[in-house]
């Protein structure tokens, strides 16, 4: 009986060895990868220019002028519906001499200004042999803060200049504002000394436009200049605004020191 069980065991072992070999391999992997990239670039460029000019001359003639415009539009609200507006200048402001200023504002809450300063020293009966000094400064500062525009269904909002401001001599300025809450300015400073020497001129412009809101639906706007601003001699400045919350300025400073006789 013992021999029989041994034989059965051997046969069972052979049967097991002859059966197919099967293997199942399951690989589970988890990969975590964190990457932080920080790039910091600091560029600092500083230029300092200091110019000191000392002129040691005896002045016999001097002229100095200063023109400055300040405009502030803050915390205003324009709410409009079907409010068509137009600023129209046709065949006007032609053939003038001296200082010409035109302001048109069909819109709301518009600041418009024209500032002119002229300094001219007394001419001599005989040409002067002395030295002169002339200094002209012109400046404009415009601030537009926290204004609100809410408009809808406006068929037109138009500024138009046609056949106007032609053949003028001197200084000619015009501002047109069919929109809302605009700052418009022209600033001119002229200084003339009738003796050669030293002249200084400076023109400054500062503008701030911040925190304003505009909501418009179905609003049509246009600004046109046709056959205008021709044949003028001197200084011409024009601002047109059919839109909203605009800062517009023309700033000119002119100085001269010379003998004209």
N- to C-terminal Cα separation, the chain: 152
What is the predicted pLDDT for the residue at 107?
A: 87
Q: Residue 124 burial (CB < 10 Å; 0-12/13-18/19+)?
A: middle
What is the predicted pLDDT for the residue at 131?
A: 87
For range 10-20, the mean pLDDT: 54
Residues in Cβ contact with 112 at an 8 Å cutoff, skipping those fewer than 6 apart: 103, 105, 175, 177, 184, 185
Look-up of token digits 């009986």: 1
What is the predicted pLDDT for the residue at 27?
A: 61
Alpha-carbon separation of residue 102 from 24, 31, 68, 177, 252 (angstroms): 94, 75, 18, 11, 17
- Give the tens place of pLDDT for each residue, 27-75: 666 767 676 777 777 777 787 877 776 767 777 888 899 999 999 999 9
Please give the Cα distance from 44 to 46 (Å, whole number): 7
* Bridge partner residues of 253 (DSSP): 189
Please give the Cα distance from 72 to 133 (Å, whole number): 34
Please give the Cα distance from 88 to 74 (Å, whole number): 27
What is the predicted pLDDT for the residue at 237?
A: 95
> For the chain, which residues make up each domain, given as ranges?
67-257
What is the predicted pLDDT for the residue at 88?
A: 93
Q: Residue 184 burial (CB < 10 Å; 0-12/13-18/19+)?
A: buried
Please give the Cα distance from 176 to 174 (Å, whole number): 7
Task: Give the largest CA-CA distance in the chain.
Answer: 158
Average pLDDT, the chain: 85
DSSP class of 158: E
For range 91-102, the mean pLDDT: 94
When mean pLDDT is compared across 76-85, 145-154, 172-181, the lowest value belongs to 76-85
pLDDT of residue 257 exceeding 80, the answer is yes
When mean pLDDT is compared across 4-8, 20-24, 94-98, the lowest value belongs to 4-8
For range 120-139, the mean pLDDT: 83
- Give the tens place of pLDDT for each residue, 105-120: 988 899 999 999 999 8
When mean pLDDT is compared across 36-40, 61-65, 133-137, 245-249, the lowest value belongs to 36-40
For range 230-249, the mean pLDDT: 94
Please give the Cα distance from 162 to 230 (Å, whole number): 11
What is the predicted pLDDT for the residue at 254?
A: 93
Helix, strand, or coil here: 7? helix
Question: What percent of the chain stands above pLDDT 90?
Answer: 52
The residue among 115, 102, 141 whose CA lies nearest residue 252 is: 115
| For the chain, the helix, strand and coil percentages under 3-state DSSP, each to the nearest 5 | 5, 55, 40
Alpha helices per DSSP H over the chain: 2-18
The residue among 245, 250, 258 whose CA lies nearest residue 74 is: 245
**Between 159 and 38, whose confidence is greater?**
159
What is the predicted pLDDT for the residue at 184?
A: 95
The region that residue 16 occupies, defined by phi over 0 for left and psi between -120 and 50 for alpha, beta otherwise, is alpha
Alpha-carbon separation of residue 66 from 57, 72, 125, 233, 239 (angstroms): 24, 20, 28, 22, 22
């Amino acid at each position: 009986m013992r021999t029989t069980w041994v034989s059965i065991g051997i046969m069972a072992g052979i049967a097991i060895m002859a059966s197919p070999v099967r293997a199942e391999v399951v690989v589970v992997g988890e990969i975590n990868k964190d990457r932080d990239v920080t790039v910091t670039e600091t560029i600092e460029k500083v230029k300092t220019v200091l110019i000191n000019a000392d002129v040691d001359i005896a002045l016999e003639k001097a002229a100095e002028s200063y023109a400055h415009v300040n405009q502030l539009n803050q915390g205003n609200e324009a709410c409009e519906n079907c409010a068509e507006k137009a600023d129209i200048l046709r065949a006007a402001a032609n053939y003038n001499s001296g200082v010409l200023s035109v302001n048109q504002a069909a819109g709301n809450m518009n600041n418009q200004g024209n500032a002119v300063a002229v300094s001219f020293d007394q001419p001599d009966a005989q040409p002067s042999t002395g030295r002169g000094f002339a200094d002209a400064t012109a400046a404009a500062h415009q601030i537009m803060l926290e204004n609100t525009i809410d408009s809808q269904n406006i068929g037109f909002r138009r500024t138009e200049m046609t056949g106007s401001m032609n053949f003028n001599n001197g200084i000619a300025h015009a501002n047109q504002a069919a929109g809302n809450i605009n700052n418009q300015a022209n600033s001119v400073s002229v200084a003339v000394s009738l003796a050669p020497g030293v002249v200084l001129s400076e023109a400054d412009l500062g503008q701030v436009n911040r925190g304003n809101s505009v909501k418009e639906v179905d609003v049509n706007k246009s600004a046109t200049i046709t056959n205008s601003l021709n044949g003028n001699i001197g200084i011409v400045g024009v601002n047109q605004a059919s839109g909203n919350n605009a800062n517009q300025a023309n700033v000119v400073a002119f100085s001269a020191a010379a003998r004209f006789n």
